Amino acid sequence: MDFRRRFAVRLAFRSAVLAVAIAVFAWTASRATLPATSVLAGAIIVWAATAVWALVRSTNVELERFVSALNHGDLAQNFARAGRGSGFDELGDALDGAMRRLRDERAASAAENRFASALVDGAPTPLLAIDGDGRIELSNKAARRLFDRVDGVRASDFASYGAEFVEALQGVLPGSRRLSPMLVAGLSQRAMLAATTVERGGTVWRIVSVQIIQRELNAAEIAVQTDLVRVLTHEIMNSMTPVTSLAASAAELMGEIDDGRNEAIGDARLAVETLARRAEGIMHFVETYRSFSRAPEVVRRPFAARGWADQLVRLFAATPRAAGVALDLAIADDLDLIDGDADLLTQVVLNLMKNGAEAAAAHGDTPRVGLSIAPLHAGRVRIAVSDNGPGVAANLAEDVFLPFFTTKRDGTGVGLSFARQVVLLHEGAIGLVPGEMGGACFEIVI
Per-residue pLDDT of 199-255, as tens digits, reads 887 889 999 999 988 878 877 777 777 777 777 776 777 777 888 888 888 888 888
Could you tell me if 139 and 207 are in contact, meaning their C-beta atoms sit under 8 angstroms apart? yes
Cα–Cα distance for residue pair 238/215, rounded to 1 Å? 35
Cα–Cα distance for residue pair 441/320, rounded to 1 Å? 21
What's the confidence (pLDDT) of residue 325? 94
Give the residue, 188 or 153, on which the prediction is more confident: 153
DSSP state of 189: E
Handedness of CA 50, 53, 59, 64 (dihedral sign): negative
Cα–Cα distance for residue pair 428/224, rounded to 1 Å? 18
Q: Which helix (H) or strand (E) holds 340?
A: strand 337-340
Query: For residue 359, what pLDDT band results from cuts at 50, 70 and 90?
Result: very high
Alpha-carbon distances of 113 from 97, 124, 202, rounded to whole Å: 24, 19, 18
Q: What is the mean pLDDT of residues 346-353?
A: 93
Q: Among residues of the chain, what percentage have pLDDT more than 70?
A: 77
Q: What is the mean pLDDT of residues 117-141?
A: 91
Instruction: Give the angle 192-196-201 at the CA atoms, nearest 5°.
Output: 135
Residue 444: which of 354, 369, 336, 371 has the closest Cα?
371
Cα–Cα distance for residue pair 394/401, rounded to 1 Å? 13
pLDDT exceeds cutoff 70 at 389: yes
Residue 426: which of 339, 318, 308, 323 has the closest Cα?
339
Cα–Cα distance for residue pair 134/396, rounded to 1 Å? 41
Q: For the segment 9-40, what is each residue's pLDDT rounded down to a tens digit?
A: 666 666 776 677 677 666 666 665 566 666 67
Q: What is the mean pLDDT of residues 406-422?
A: 75
**Would you say the pTM of this structure is higher than 0.75?**
no
Other Cβ atoms less than 10 A from the Cβ of 322: the count is: 20
Handedness of CA 172, 175, 181, 184 (dihedral sign): positive
Cα–Cα distance for residue pair 381/429, rounded to 1 Å? 11
Highest-confidence segment of 147-156, 286-295, 337-346: 337-346
What's the confidence (pLDDT) of residue 412? 60
pLDDT exceeds cutoff 50 at 83: no
Alpha-carbon distances of 409 from 169, 205, 405, 412, 413, rounded to whole Å: 46, 59, 11, 9, 11
Please report, as a single letter, which amino acid is at residue 18.
L
Q: Compute the mean pLDDT over every residue in the chain, rounded to the nearest whole number.
A: 81
What's the confidence (pLDDT) of residue 87? 47
What's the confidence (pLDDT) of residue 56? 61
Query: For residue 86, what pLDDT band results from cuts at 50, 70 and 90?
Result: very low
What's the confidence (pLDDT) of residue 85? 47
**Nearest-10 crossing angle of helices 415-425, 342-363:** 140
Min mean pLDDT across 4-8, 169-173, 211-215, 291-295 is at 4-8
